[in-house]
Amino acid sequence: MNSIAYILYLIATWLITVHVGWNLYKNGRIYILNLLHGDEALTDAINRILLTGYYLLNLGYATLMITQWQTIETLATVISSICGMVGNILLLLAAIHFINMTVIFWLSKKNKHPHSITLKY
């Protein structure tokens, strides 16, 4: 039963992660563009970096969480385990989204020139 649960979990997690990531990438561009005062090149670069990091972190975390599962013997346990694990992924996705938007908002407020961003090392 574990193999079936793993496959169902990975398919559900992959579909959710890719769907949410693509929607955030597509629709978040306007938000980032506004915060960066119309700087399209910087907006597109940040948006691509966010999408790549989002996919790596979430798909890696989802795969790693399989190691936390105990032996599954019944169909009810399969459903319960998949729901719990997918719920964890959804909470992680929401937290990362809000952290990213907060950081982008913070960076836009520190931006003194309307078409450039200053990074301090």
Q: Whole domain around residue 45: which residue ranges? A: 2-110
The mean pLDDT of the chain is: 83
Residue 10 in any domain: the answer is yes
Instruction: Establish if 115 belongs to a structural domain.
Output: no
Answer for the pair 119, 103: CB distance below 8 angstroms, yes or no.
no
Check: CB of residue 96 under 8 Å from CB of residue 54. yes
- Local confidence band at 110 (pLDDT 50, 70, 90 cut-offs): confident
**Residue 120 placed within a domain:** no
> How far is residue 12's CA from residue 26's CA, in Å, rounded to a whole number?
21
Any domain includes 121? no
Q: Per-residue confidence at 121, pLDDT binned at 50, 70, 90?
A: very low
| Residue 3 tokens, joined | 């193999």
Phi, psi of 116 (to 5 degrees): -150, 160
Residue type, 113: H
The verdict on residue 102 lying in a domain is yes
Q: Considering the domain boundaries, does residue 116 fall inside one?
A: no
Is the full-model pTM beyond 0.95?
no
Domains in the chain: how many in total? 1
Considering only residues 114 and 88, tell me which one the structure prediction assigns the higher pLDDT.
88
- Judge whether 45 lies within some domain: yes
